[in-house]
Structure 1
């Protein structure tokens, strides 16, 4: 009996010792280098954001260079030329202005303990991983789907999440290069023909990519599988659709319906300042009754589309 009590007491002490690390209140303003590293690690947990070239800055609003592609700038040299240049290298810029965002949650001590110790993980490290993982999902959703004009179902109240900022989708919709499918079901030919809308200089970019949601992707897979023969305009690998008209596909988690775009991934730039704060507390009656710690993460972000001429997008009720 005493042995069992000793074992139980040892387990309780061990549990309390490990949970003590996350019960310590933290109000951390991260140094710039550490803040950028934290953001890089956070974005790695998202599905699509790691593939984009994020910009980290110390300035909340400024401009970043546009995506520009020019060709046929070489001329014959005769010796009589004037050093005027060709104007092939310019620095047009696109403005950005970050918005302050935050993610917060109560995390139960027992959930942390049982989920992490079962795998032999460090409690504090895995709790930070959880915070980063949840933040990464939301920030990707916001950066793609954000719309400052978004409203709730009543048509008047601003959507508390989507209205924070204008995301990539809304900004890409400003491009005049568009295929409107209306109420028609999409076909493979619609996608193949859509490619021809882009200027050839963009078609030659190595990161030109289809951006779509999971529903549209699954429809296209079904269409390809029903074909009697492969026509060479799509590529199936082990039942997965990897390319359409020679360009890879990026399925963006939680991307809104009715939208597909063909654009270089380098055309989409998430912007973050190195102003990052993480706060955690287990103090007070609320934390005690919840047997939980409260976590909150503050960051500053914006979504920038560098070149509208490099965006060809599709709209349709069935996308």
Structure 2
């Protein structure tokens, strides 16, 4: 484990950029970027285009360690290069930005008010490759739709069971039990979620470190006491479908909670923009998300 990276994630000022749209969400991400489905005819062409988009973001002068602590990558991105370096190496060596990897394979169907993660085939092999590619940590997402105590218990249990395997492989797991921002009982779900997270943290070995990626809570600073747990390296927030301005406003009301935004980060960026237009849009987005993260 890289101590410099560990210290940066634990105490650094900034946020984590989520650049991890996967196979299922890539067409939507490209469409928002101004590239329609008729611009590519197969997955390889699609992934080439999305890598060009991510490369344009990562190599931008505004994308730097002054504001950004880490970046979450999709597996396909980890295996590709920026210039003559693999993406994770470029991030750390050229940008001083800590690389993470999304490892989940999507969501199962709704059951007991939640969507668990689908099985992750060849998990050990993937984690080994991540270590070899100098990845620092991993991210995996599941979703809570309803305040169902049994469903939430199983979801958090699944997250931590896999998280322990990730930690054993020498990586830092980002536990991401997203609460749907449109849930009619979001606040109740958050109470159940926090209780289950606390139970799982209490059962961890003292040397195991995890990160939590959570929806911005209904009640300001609701998760703040979890930040003092010795097993928790950092708590970050997903934008969850909020616009950038909405997400920033809500985030700023939660002391020491930092962003890990995806759609809210890339909002307004298009392939058709000139470099000057693209740079200005990305710079403004990074600055506003950073400001909301250091409140």
Select the structure that is richer in helix: 2
Tell me the TM-score normalized by structure 1.
0.23
Larger Rg over CA atoms: 1
Tell me the TM-score normalized by structure 2.
0.25
